[in-house]
Amino acid sequence: MTEVCSDISDATCGLCGEPMPAGETMFKFHGYSGPCPKPPLPKDTQPRVIDFDDGEISVRLDGKELRGWSYKDDTERRTKMLCAREYVEGWCDGRSLGVVGTLPRYPDAVSPEPPENAQ
């Protein structure tokens, strides 16, 4: 019960990062008693590679997963981490060229159609 109370008292607004007032600790954002007291926090502009050390690697931007990989041993983890870093590098290069948002979400998961005369 003590942990639950400490979590509630530490509640902060998801927009401005300020502590929530009494009576609003169960909400994610200010609004019931008035607008946020400060301007919104800046959003992440760079994707982050996160290794959860439980067999999962994730690339996230603003808390949303862009891509994920799983691994079973250290050798595979190293390979997948390299893939994740290359994905981020390509994502950032695409953003600088203005093409992010126009590409499929998982371009390597879509296999091209074979040619009609392929055997």
pLDDT higher at 30 or 107? 30
- The per-residue pLDDT for 31 is 76
Q: How far is residue 102's CA from residue 83's CA, in Å, rounded to a whole number?
A: 21
Euclidean distance between CA atoms 16 and 31, whole angstroms: 12
- The model's confidence at residue 1, banded by pLDDT at 50, 70 and 90, is very low
Write down the residue that tokens 């994920």 correspond to: 68
Taking every pair of Cα atoms in the chain, the longest distance, rounded to a whole number of angstroms, is 70
| Cα of 69 vs its chain's centroid, Å | 13
**Beta-ladder partners of 61:** 64
How far apart CA 35 and CA 119 sit, in angstroms, is: 65
Where residue 24 falls (left for φ over 0; alpha for ψ -120 to 50; beta otherwise) is alpha
pTM of the model: 0.47
Under a CB-based contact definition with an 8 Å cutoff, are residues 43 and 62 in contact?
yes
Per-residue pLDDT reduced to its tens digit, 52-109? 889 999 998 877 888 899 999 999 999 999 999 988 888 776 666 665 555 455 555 5
Strands 48-51 and 64-70 come out as: unpaired
